[in-house]
Structure 1
Amino acid sequence: MARKCKITGKGPLTGNNVSFSQKKTRRRFLPNIQTKKIYVPELDRHVRIKMSVRAMRTVDKIGLMPFLKKQGLTLKDVVS
């Protein structure tokens, strides 16, 4: 299962865990990816998309189709 947002393309980042003694060990920072069912009024149906919570907030604000257009994507590109 890829931990990647279908809309924004956000994926895991790497960095360090730093202990009190300043020892550094490698770790991954995972994005907050959720599967969400969204109603698309243009198609009069629901679609299920795996997306980051940041993208969810934007979709709630401006709508799915305008956000996809802004990102240069179509609905077919992101439907899981």
Structure 2
Amino acid sequence: MARVCTLCGKSPHMSVTRTLLRGKYNPTAKTRKYPNLQWVRIGSGKRVKACTQCIKRMAVTQ
């Protein structure tokens, strides 16, 4: 579970290109979008992977 936020549980999800932008001769496959995870130290000094939204949320509460 390397690409999951330890605080909120955000994980990768599948994404597709809009149907109008593709056609019969230009098919598009599904792509996987990953959350923006960063290493950050929490209050106990432990390093965890957190998404940037959680990092912003922690900065506001402190």
Query: Structure 1 length normalisation: TM-score?
Result: 0.60
Choose between structure 1 and 2 for higher RCO, CA contacts under 8 A separated by at least 6 residues: 2
The residue type equivalent to 2:52 in the other structure is: V
Secondary structure at the counterpart of residue 3 of structure 1: coil
Identity, % of aligned positions: 25
Q: Which residue of 1 aligns with 2:35?
A: 31
Partner of 1:16: 16
Runs (4+) of structure 1 exceeding 4 A deviation are none
Q: Which has the larger helix fraction?
A: 1
- Unpaired runs of at least 5, structure 1: 64-80
Alignment: residue pair count: 57
What runs of 5+ residues in structure 2 fail to find an aligned partner?
A: none
Q: Higher strand share goes to which structure?
A: 1
Tell me the C-alpha RMSD between the 2 structures.
2.1
